[in-house]
Amino acid sequence: METIKHIRVIQDFGSLNDDGVVLTGTAVVAGLTNNKRFLNLPYDLNQLQTDVTNLTSAIATAVHQGGRHATAAKNKLRHDVIVQLRRWAMYVQANSNDDAEAITSTGFRPASLTRSSGPLPKAVILSIDHGHSTQQLITIKKIDNAKCYEAEVATVTGNVTGDWKKAGLFTKTRKLLIKDLTPGTYYAFRVRAVGGSTNTGDWSDPQTHICA
């Protein structure tokens, strides 16, 4: 008799640091939005996004202001996000048809794809192309076991690179859309993979490109 292999979703959210919880929550929102494999969502995905956004703000407040009240507020929001992640993880696990690729597409990690418990490798940008007048399209090298990819952008003036700003999380590796740029301005772009034992891999080498 053939043995049926059941694939479970890894639910180690409690062991993640605060940034890891935020990255996982953001990846799940991105992965489940308009995901053709999971069309009948039982919960409000906007609520998870709201709580992740609030947690991000609370983390910054706790770091810059400190104090028991700020830390307690941050910890409560962290708890709320983890509760939602566990609930969404159970839904994905129950509706994945034991398909590891389907689970990965949601931003969660299937147990069968966690053979490597070490850190993810450094990301590599393969190309940067022009999109519309305020957009750039980045293609990167695929990294096995990555939940998603995080991108950042900074303006470049002469030989000086400005502050890095978040440009989005992406579950694909081709034509990552970076928007709201200024035509005629030089920008530096970098990406990193999300996942692995350190929550994220190393940033790629920055690549500079002008927004046409």
Domains of the chain: 13-113 (no CATH), 125-210 (2.60.40.10)
Q: What is the pTM of this model?
A: 0.61
The answer, yes or no, to whether residue 113 has pLDDT greater than 70, is no
Compute φ and ψ for 140, nearest 5 degrees: -125, 165
Angle between helices 45-64 and 68-95 in degrees, nearest 10 = 150
Span 96-118, average pLDDT: 78
Confidence label for 117 from pLDDT (cuts 50, 70 and 90)? low
CB 55 within 8 A of CB 81: yes
The answer, yes or no, to whether residue 114 has pLDDT greater than 60, is no
Q: pLDDT tens digits for 145-196?
A: 888 899 999 999 988 999 999 998 888 899 999 999 999 999 999 999 988 8
pLDDT at residue 59 in the model:
92
**Rounded to whole angstroms, how far apart are CA atoms 75 and 119?**
26
Q: pLDDT tens digits for 41-95?
A: 999 999 999 999 999 999 999 888 888 899 999 999 999 999 999 999 999 999 9
**Rounded to whole angstroms, how far apart are CA atoms 148 and 26?**
10
